[in-house]
């Protein structure tokens, strides 16, 4: 069977192009922690390869012969919520099944299974009991790798953490030598709500944590390695610029890398002609297909946008605010743990695909219910009539802004989101919009590309830059800064035309004063300025 890029579940090297998970982490560091009898956290955003890593580690550790390692997925206990007896019984049962599957010694795996089943009936401390029995019975120290720990909620999660803490002092003779708790978030971000209203944090319930290790995204060399495996297996090459395009789109996010490559190489029959190289334009088409299809990974990302902790961080980025916002450090770290924003400064959306998905998701219903048609804004020659389009948006914004912006939880970024919804509604199926924004930029930049020939994006294109600014200071100061910024961005993109949109959100200013259209010259470039 031909191998392919994996987008669903743990990697299986016999059918998937695979980067060895062990090579994605600092194995000497992990080995040292296990040798020192440490209990630690491994966390990373969803679909970054955590499960593949843990399973690979289990097999690698067992092959070395010094320890007896076991991978256990405990997500099924989530359904128990605060029913501790049921939740812990589910965890212990999962451990027994995992021992039966992964440990190849029939006598030992049968003993482990039987003791897990017996312990599951013995009450709320059965997890401590089974880990003690296994440790005492094993001829080697145990290493337990628990996956999906942060899927648990309420008292079940509290009980799990405290039962592990209760046996910690007995390691390694009567408790595991080392344990790894794996999930999306660090244990410090666990928030457990008791029925009596008390909130218990993960740090207080699990104060034996020695380290918190974040599994990183792919490096550029990792992405190159993955693509090379496809070339080696099929002979199909990747045109110059493809690697850079994938990197700009994904910044190495593992699921996105695999999804883009699969979309470009396998999705359609014509893409299976291995004599033809994969082109940059095919990768761009793959990106748009992923965004429009809203696969599960992207839907999960969109679901997180509803959380207040996420909104507090993402909203000022989308609004292009000036960077003076006092954002809670915990909220910033939480968004980083989810993979929504990058690790650097200033704060920015993690990659180009997420930067496209987030505004589209936040304005999805707006796009679907907006009465606008693409044909209204096309010239007889097939150009996008930007003057007509932005004049129409001015009137639309004047008539509907108060009603439409009330729909958005992200009110600070409301004007920018509403314009993006308006544009997306019109260009869908024909053109593309690229977005650039980040905390401290003081603006949002949009780059619209509209094909002008049957060749589509391979032929000549109309290229338009739009810069969006909120008027915080006086009109003159905002205009001066905006003209300089939009002209520089338009020159960088090689745009045919440049437009500066200035939103005045002062309720004391009348619409007649807010709405205007002017032409300005900045350097060698003419800029159309639109007041809102």
Residue finishing a domain among 199, 214, 229: 214
C-alpha 441, offset from chain centre: 22
Residue 33 inside a domain? The answer is yes
Q: Check whether the bond before 232 is cis (ω within 30° of 0).
A: no
Residue 181 inside a domain? The answer is yes
pLDDT of residue 410: 85
Do 437 and 492 fall into the same domain? yes
What is the Cα–Cα distance from 419 to 362, expressed in whole angstroms? 12
pLDDT of residue 196: 55
Do 131 and 230 fall into the same domain? no
Do 278 and 371 fall into the same domain? no
Residue 94 inside a domain? The answer is yes
- Counted domains in the chain: 3
pLDDT of residue 124: 66
Residues of the chain with pLDDT under 70: 109, 116, 119-124, 187-207, 209-210, 322-325, 438-442
What is the Cα–Cα distance from 314 to 84, expressed in whole angstroms? 35
Do 418 and 524 fall into the same domain? yes
Do 229 and 196 fall into the same domain? no
Do 507 and 435 fall into the same domain? yes
Give the N- to C-terminal CA distance of the chain in Å, as an integer.
Answer: 58
Q: Give bridge partners of residue 518 from the DSSP assignment.
A: 529
397 vs 71, 421, 465, CA distance in Å? 55, 12, 20
What are residue 487's phi and psi, to 5 degrees? -65, -40
Do 267 and 126 fall into the same domain? no
CB 166, CB 198: distance < 8 Å? no
Return the residue matching tokens 């916002």.
Answer: 325
pLDDT of residue 409: 79
Task: State the DSSP string of 402-457.
Answer: HHHHTT-S--TTHHHHHHHHHHHHHHTTT-EEEEE--TTS-SEEEEEEEE-STTGG
Do 209 and 224 fall into the same domain? no
Residue finishing a domain among 193, 214, 235: 214
Do 412 and 471 fall into the same domain? yes
What are residue 510's phi and psi, to 5 degrees? -75, 155
CATH number at 103 reads 3.40.50.300
CB 217, CB 24: distance < 8 Å? no
Do 109 and 203 fall into the same domain? yes
Residue 415 inside a domain? The answer is yes
Residue 146 inside a domain? The answer is yes
Number of Cβ within 10 Å of residue 453's Cβ equals 11
Full residue range of the structural domain in which residue 158 is found = 21-214
What is the Cα–Cα distance from 385 to 390, expressed in whole angstroms? 9
Do 514 and 401 fall into the same domain? yes
Do 182 and 271 fall into the same domain? no
**DSSP H helices in 36-153:** 50-64, 84-102, 106-119, 126-137
Residue 456 inside a domain? The answer is yes
Residue 13 inside a domain? The answer is no
pLDDT of residue 387: 96
Q: Check whether the bond before 172 is cis (ω within 30° of 0).
A: yes
DSSP code of 277?
Answer: P
pTM here is: 0.84
Q: What is the widest separation between alpha-carbon atoms in the chain?
A: 84
pLDDT of residue 194: 55
Burial class (CB in 10 A: 0-12, 13-18, 19+), 476: exposed
Residue 409 inside a domain? The answer is yes
Query: What 3-state class would DSSP assign to 58?
Result: helix
Residue finishing a domain among 189, 214, 239: 214
């Amino acid at each position: 069977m031909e191998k392919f890029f994996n987008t669903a579940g743990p990697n299986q090297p016999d059918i998937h192009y695979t980067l060895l998970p062990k090579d994605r982490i600092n194995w000497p560091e992990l080995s040292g922690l296990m040798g020192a009898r440490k209990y630690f956290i491994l966390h990373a955003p969803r679909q970054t390869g955590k499960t593949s890593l843990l399973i690979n580690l289990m097999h690698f550790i067992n092959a070395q012969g010094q320890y007896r390692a076991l991978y256990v997925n405990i997500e099924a206990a989530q359904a128990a919520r605060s029913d501790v007896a049921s939740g812990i019984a589910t965890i212990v049962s999962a451990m027994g099944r995992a021992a039966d599957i992964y440990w190849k010694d029939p006598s030992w795996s049968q003993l482990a299974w039987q003791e897990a089943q017996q312990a599951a009936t013995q009450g709320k401390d059965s997890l401590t009991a089974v880990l003690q029995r296994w440790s005492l019975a094993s001829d080697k120290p145990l290493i337990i790798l628990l996956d999906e720990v942060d899927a648990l909620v309420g008292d079940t999660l509290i009980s799990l953490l405290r039962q592990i803490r209760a046996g910690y002092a007995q390691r390694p003779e009567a408790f595991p030598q080392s344990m790894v708790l794996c999930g999306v978030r660090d244990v410090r971000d666990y928030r457990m709500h008791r029925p009596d209203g008390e909130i218990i944090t993960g740090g207080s319930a699990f104060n034996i944590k020695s380290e918190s290790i974040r599994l990183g995204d792919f490096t550029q060399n990792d992405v190159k390695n993955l693509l090379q495996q496809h070339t080696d297996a099929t002979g199909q090459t990747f045109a110059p610029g493809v690697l850079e395009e994938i990197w700009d789109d994904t910044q190495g996010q593992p699921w996105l890398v695999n999804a883009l490559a699969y979309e470009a190489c396998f999705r359609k029959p014509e893409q299976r002609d291995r004599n033809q190289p994969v082109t940059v334009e095919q990768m761009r088409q793959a990106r748009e297909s992923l965004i429009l299809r809203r696969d599960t990974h992207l839907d999960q990302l969109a679901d997180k946008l509803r959380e207040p902790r996420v909104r507090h961080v993402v909203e000022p980025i989308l609004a292009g605010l000036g960077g003076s916002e006092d954002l809670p450090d915990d909220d910033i770290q939480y968004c980083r743990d989810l993979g929504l924003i990058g690790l650097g400064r200033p704060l920015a959306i993690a990659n180009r695909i997420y930067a496209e998905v987030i505004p589209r998701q936040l304005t999805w219903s707006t796009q679907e219910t907006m009465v606008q048609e693409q044909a209204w804004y096309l010239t007889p020659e097939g150009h996008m009539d930007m003057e007509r389009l932005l004049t129409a948006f001015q009137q639309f914004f004047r008539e509907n802004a108060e009603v439409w912006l009330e729909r958005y939880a992200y009110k600070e970024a409301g004007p920018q989101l509403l314009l993006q919804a308006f544009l997306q509604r019109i260009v869908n199926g024909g053109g593309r919009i690229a977005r650039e924004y980040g905390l401290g930029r003081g603006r949002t930049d949009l780059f619209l590309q509209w094909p002008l020939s049957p060749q589509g994006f391979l032929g000549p294109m109309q290229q338009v830059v739009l810069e969006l600014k909120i008027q915080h200071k006086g009109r003159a100061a905002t205009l001066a800064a905006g003209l300089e910024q939009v002209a520089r961005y338009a020159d960088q993109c090689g745009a045919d035309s440049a437009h500066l949109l200035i939103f005045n959100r002062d309720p004391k200013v009348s619409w007649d004063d807010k709405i205007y259209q002017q032409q300005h010259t900045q350097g060698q470039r003419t800029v159309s300025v639109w007041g809102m």
